[in-house]
Amino acid sequence: MESHHQRVIERLTGLFEDDPNFLALIIGGSVARGWVRPDSDVDIVLIATDEEYARREAVESYHYFNPDLCDYPGGYVDGKIVNLDFLREAADHGSEPARAVFVGAFAAFNHAPEVDDLLKRIPVYPECEREEKIKAFYTQVLILNWYMGEAEKRGDPYLLNHAAGQLVLYGGRLILAHNRILYPYHKWFMRVLNGAPDKPAGFMELADSLLRQPSGESARAFTDCVSAFQDWGVSFPQAVVRFIKDAEWNWRGRRPPLADW
C-alpha cells in the first residue's frame, strides 16, 4: 500500500482502538488485496460490541464514511459496522460477495481473539454449493443466449443489452465457480475473472466483444466457447426446466430478488 494509506489506517486505529464500543478494525478492499492506486479509498469493517451494534441496528446506522482522515486527493474512508455474529454468519453461510469482502483482509487492531479465526474461514469458496452453482450458471448461459437471438429478431435494444450483460455475468460466474474463486460482485468482477487460471482460450476477448457489440453472433460465439470448454452436465431441455425454477418461480417460499420484487 502507499504510505498515505498507511497513515489513514494509523489514524483510524487511534480513533477506535480505545473506544469500548468497538472490538476490531478490519482493513479490506483494494488496499488489502494489493490492487491499490494512489487515489484509492480505504475500505474498512468495524466490529462493534453487541450493545453498540444493537443501538445502531435500531436506527439502521451501519455505514461509516469519513473523508477527513485522508490527506491525499480523492481519498476517503468507507466501511460497514457489524458485530461478531455477522462474521460468524458470513463464515457459516455468507454469500460469495459477502465472503469476498474479506479476501486479503487484516486486522489493524483486534480485541477479540475469535476474529483471527473468522478472517481465515470467511473468504473460502463454499464447496458444498459448487456443483449446483455450476449447473445453475450454465443454465443461464444457455437461456440468455436464446434471449439474445430473440432480442435481435424483435429489434429490442433493452433485451439485447440486458441479456448480453447477464450472459457475461453468468458465463463469468461459471468460470469462477469452476476455479473455486469467490465472486466479488460487479465492481471487481472482470478483474477477478481475468485472473482465473483455468478458462477457455479467448474467453475474455469474447466477453469484451459481446459487451461492446451485443448481437446474436457475439452471443453464440461466447456461448460456444463456454460450452466447448467442458461438459457442464446440463442439456438445453434440462436448462429450460431449471430456468423456470431459478428465474420465473424464484418468488415461491421467499421474497423475490430485488430485481423482480
Q: At what angle do helices 157-178 and 127-154 cross, to 10 degrees?
A: 160
35-72 tens-digit pLDDT? 989 999 999 999 999 999 999 999 999 999 999 999 99
Locate the domains of the chain by residue range: 3-121, 127-260
Per DSSP, the residues of 203-248 read HHHHHHHHHHS--HHHHHHHHHHHHHHS--S--HHHHHHHHIIIII
Residue 257 and residue 112: Cα distance in Å, rounded? 35
Residue 7 and residue 3: Cα distance in Å, rounded? 6
Non-local (6+) Cβ contacts of 159 within 8 A are 147, 150, 151
Length, in residues, of the chain? 261
Non-local (6+) Cβ contacts of 173 within 8 A are 133, 137, 183
69-104 tens-digit pLDDT? 999 999 999 999 999 999 999 999 999 999 999 999
Question: Mean pLDDT over residues 231-256, rounded?
Answer: 95
- CATH 3.30.460.10 assigned to domain 3-121? The reply is yes
Question: Mean pLDDT over residues 104-132, rounded?
Answer: 97
For residues 225 and 206, the answer to whether their CB atoms sit within 8 Å is: yes
